[in-house]
Amino acid sequence: MMKLFALPTVFLSLLVLFLALPNQALGFPNYSGVISDDARIIEPNDEAIMGLRLLDYEGLTNLRFLVHTTNDLGTQKIEDYGRELLAHWHMNGDKDPATILLILSPSAGKVRWQLNPAAKPIFPVEQQDRILKEVMLQYFSKADFSWHQRLVSAL
């Protein structure tokens, strides 16, 4: 009789594990600071300088600006990846501070802004597009990652 009760428990445990796997399967990094360079496209010295500039920007504006690079979007669209990454970092709620995440995936040739709800009214689409066109895409398309030196001044 006890074996009949064990089967649903095992099934339920496997179901919970399966539902938890998508974030684990993609290997979302834990939040470790304003720059998460998993694709390793930013030189360490440049990363340190840009990180300090982004922290200064946050101090002046109360707008958290993050940069994440990755070579592995899994099977997801970059939009879904960005939304899930902010959720994984617990920064996607209505009550979270305004957060803008810039995602770059050199292997997929994709660049995307991901904003949490609080950042949407502060960082309008026109400004997002202007920065992408004037600062980012011309360098990104040539695999020239010096764009980050111009990014903070464009904000």
Q: What is the CA radius of gyration of the chain?
A: 19
Q: Tens digits of per-residue pLDDT, 30-54? A: 999 999 999 998 888 888 988 998 9
User: Is a pLDDT exceeding 60 seen at residue 76?
Assistant: yes
pTM of the model: 0.77
Instruction: Locate the domains of the chain by residue range.
Output: 31-154
Residue 102's nearest CA partner among 114, 110, 92 is 114
Helix (H) or strand (E) holding 101: strand 99-105
CATH T-level topology, domain 31-154:
Diaminopimelate Epimerase; Chain A, domain 1 (3.10.310)
